[in-house]
A and B are shown apart, each in its own frame.
Chain A
């Protein structure tokens, strides 16, 4: 059990480092929208999500309603429901309800990707360890970005926006290189997402992401059904 926790910490290290640098970008973004460093930190500590936080800060800056905030978060973060659903298939027998209530907080794209790629079933201790460094990295990076944004030249802070997407590329490319069906799913999703952006610009980004991803996954599932042993 202690071994699982340490392994989780170790596996979480690269995510934590990545989150640290990416969340500097979020801290800068939040301060640009007149949110103080403390509240920027609070958003990161209670949300632990990249795209949802960026969109949420946009809603706050635009003076949107709370309903709008709830819907934006629901749509952008709905993918976590699907990831959580897929993680339930990976959780070991001792993963109790109470542990699930606590640890579900830490389901992010990257934590999910690492957890799901484990060969064995995952324990609650492993999951807890896996969350620690990404949480610390995400919150401390946000604070650093927020506090330093007044000092950093505009050119540097503008370019930090690409960090997040660089991280996404790093997650998708290696498996896509090895596995043709994953390559197919990723390319179809990207293609439809581009189509939404240019042909149907009135559809919100969050909704366009969900539709593109669902369409691409369903199409891939029809074309390349996976057999049980491969997904575990």
Chain B
């Protein structure tokens, strides 16, 4: 099948999923329950996306565990996104390199 067709479907679905709710929904949400769900959702999504996938992200459990531990530690001190991400990748890489 043509690659451009795959990309068109991929991009189309991804765009509509964002555009439809953002454009059509205007009312203010009054329900405390719904507001609370929306408040917690991004953290829950990111957390579910990260665990357990991060343990398989380097192709080697040892380096992935080291990278995860380093990322958690660096994030704990409120360092910027880029610092945390690079610290994780560099520590995983050095684990592979030296062991």
Contact = CB atoms under 8 A, between A and B. Distances in A.
A21 to B, nearest CB: 6
Contacts of A212: 44, 48
Contact of A42 (B7, B47, B80, B85): B7
A151 interface: no
Contacts of B28: 89
Contacts, number: 299
Q: Which of B21, B80, B82, B84 has the most CB of A within 10 A?
A: B82
Given A155-B96, A159-B89, A63 B1 contact: yes
B74 to A, nearest CB: 8
B36 A66 contact: no
B22 A84 contact: yes
Contacts of A51: 49
B49 to A, nearest CB: 5
Nearest to A216: B44
B10 A56 contact: yes
A200 interface: no
B38 A100 contact: no
Contacts of B58: 158-159, 161-162
B81 to A, nearest CB: 4
A73 B14 contact: yes
Nearest to B38: A86
Given A66-B1, A81-B20, A166-B88, A192 B48 contact: yes
A195 B37 CA distance: 21
Interface string B64-99: 100110011011101111111111110011001100
A109 interface: yes
Interface residues of B, number: 74
Contacts of A185: 40, 43-44, 47
A161 B57 contact: yes
Contacts of A22: 85
Given A18-B81, A81-B17, A84-B18, A169 B50 contact: yes
B21 A189 contact: no
A139 B93 CA distance: 24
B35 A168 contact: no
A159 B23 contact: no
Contacts of B23: 97, 100-101, 104
A1 interface: no
Interface of B: 1, 3, 5-7, 9-11, 13-15, 17-23, 25-26, 28-29, 32-54, 57-60, 63-64, 67-68, 71-72, 74-76, 78-89, 92-93, 96-97
Top 9 A-B pairs ranked by shortest CB distance? A166-B88, A221-B36, A170-B84, A173-B75, A166-B85, A46-B11, A189-B44, A84-B22, A212-B48
